[in-house]
Copies of this chain bind each other. A is one copy, B any other.
Amino acid sequence: MANIANHEEGSESDLSKVVLDTFRWMILARTFEDRISNIYRSGKIFGGVYVGKGQEAFSASMAINLVKGQDVYSPLIRDMAGRSAFGEPLVDAARTYMGSSNGPTKGRDGNVHRGNPREGMPTMISHLGAMISVVSGVLFARRIKGTLNNSVGATTIGDGGTSTGAFHEALNLAAVEKLPLIVSIANNQFAYSTPTSKQFACHDLVDKAVGYGVNGINVDGTDLIDCIQGFQSCIQKARAGEGPQIVVGNLLRLSGHGEHDDAPYISEEIKKSKLGIDCLKKSEKRILDEGWCNQNDIDDMFKNAVNEVNSAIETAESESAPDPYSHDWNAYSSVKFDQ
């Protein structure tokens, strides 16, 4: 499955191709996270599990429009689909959850805290908002060095994360420097239990864009095609030198905040609203309706995903846990010293 990013606009066959590609990553993410949730429930995952159920279309649509090896992508906790679409090896995800010493952090950090800064994936810290300026810094450095070319940097945040000072400082700085930064805001209506009414008072999150002097759009986060096209246009603008772009996706998380949370605070009413539509099912229906592939193809996609997931988890499970006695306990790259 190749990462298709530079398809031409407008053509129907291009659209169907990118939709199918994106859809495959959505399936993989959903399959993987469902599996991880099960393992979590069996008590075999250390720490929490945070999934992107319901947000796969929005997440993957951003990443599918990025070019690995060129662009920068710093995902957040609900971006399993985007990570996969960007090119994160599934086994890295499995290794991190299962605590394999072969994982990208060697067991030092867990679950969603994986990445590869040198491969265009700066690794998130937990403090919300903190990654936006880091991605900006990569772009800023490239501009100084003259290596920016066509590249963009993309990162994501939730409705709750927009309340952080870090979000504000970073977005403002990127706007001042007119960096090719794309910030997607997954407005899933809640920050943990807190509804948006206790998080911000603007009519619409996209209203923030004008205050930063940047472009912003809304997309229907449950609608794959709207997501793909929205990101396509914004990422193109960023590449064309039009500065930071905000893409707000309106949707609902179809899970608890973490797998420990049964989310009693999400009303049935909102679940049954348009926001509560499962993007995976909606995409499947649309794909079939459009005739872009048939049910058999889709069944195959799910089967392939299960196989991929099984094999990644098997690999991770077969690997050893980090050994504290041989572990390199050194927080410094330049020096080795005891304290």
The residues of A with any CB-CB pair to B shorter than 8 Å are 162-169, 172-173, 175-176, 178, 197-203, 207-214, 243
A201 to B: closest C-beta gap in Å: 3
B163 touches A169 (CB 8 A): yes
Interface residue from B172, B200, B209, B243 paired with A172 (Cβ < 8 Å): B200
Report the separation of the CA atoms of residues A166 and B207 in the bound assembly, to the nearest whole angstrom.
20
Interface of A is mostly: helix
| Known interface pairs A165-B168, A175-B201, A178-B201; A210-B213 also in contact (CB < 8 Å) | no
B212→A210 contact, CB < 8 A? no
Question: Cβ of A167: which chain B residues have Cβ within 8 Å of it?
Answer: 168
B207 and A201 form a contact (CB under 8 A): no
How far apart sit A75 and B164, CA to CA, in the bound complex (Å)?
A: 24
Please, how many angstroms separate the alpha-carbon atoms of A243 and B200 in the complex?
Answer: 13
Min CB gap A28→B, angstroms:
36
- CB of A236 to closest CB in B, whole Å: 20
Q: How far is the CA of A208 from the CA of B165 in the complex (A)?
A: 15
**A176–B164 CB distance below 8 A:** no
Q: For A210, give its contact among B162, B178, B199, B210 (CB under 8 Å).
A: B210
- Closest B residue to A208 using CB positions: B211
Q: Assuming A165-B165, A168-B165, is B211 touching A198 (CB within 8 A)? A: no
A244 to chain B, nearest CB (A): 8
21 A–B pairs (Cβ distance < 8 Å), ordered by A: A163-B172, A163-B173, A164-B169, A165-B165, A165-B168, A165-B169, A176-B197, A176-B198, A176-B200, A176-B201, A200-B212, A201-B212, A201-B213, A203-B213, A207-B210, A207-B213, A208-B211, A209-B211, A210-B210, A210-B211, A211-B212
**Which of A172, A199, A202, A211 neighbours the largest number of chain B CB atoms within 10 Å of its CB?**
A211
* Cβ–Cβ < 8 Å partners of A172 in chain B: 162-163, 200-201
A210: B residues at CB distance < 8 A: 202-203, 207, 210-211
Q: How far is the CA of A200 from the CA of B169 in the complex (A)?
A: 10
- A178 to B200 Cα, complex, angstroms: 10
With the chains together, A169 CA to B211 CA distance in Å? 15
CB-based closest 4 A-B pairs: A165-B165, A168-B168, A201-B213, A208-B211
Docked complex Cα distance between A291 and B336 (Å): 79
CB proximity of A152 to chain B, nearest CB, Å: 17
Which residues in B have their C-beta under 8 angstroms from that of A173? 163
Contact A202:B198 (CB < 8 A) given known A168-B167, A169-B164: no
| Shortest distance between the CB of A109 and any CB in chain B (Å) | 24
Give the distance in Å from the alpha carbon of A163 to the alpha carbon of B199 in the complex: 20
- Complex interface: chain B residues within 8 A of A208 (CB): 211
Chain B: CB-nearest residue to A244: B201
Chain B residues near A209: list those with CB within 8 A: 211
Distance in angstroms between the alpha carbons of A213 and B166 in the assembled complex: 20
Q: Report Cα–Cα, A214/B178, bound state, in Å.
A: 26
Give the CA-CA distance A165 to B213 in the complex, in Å: 17
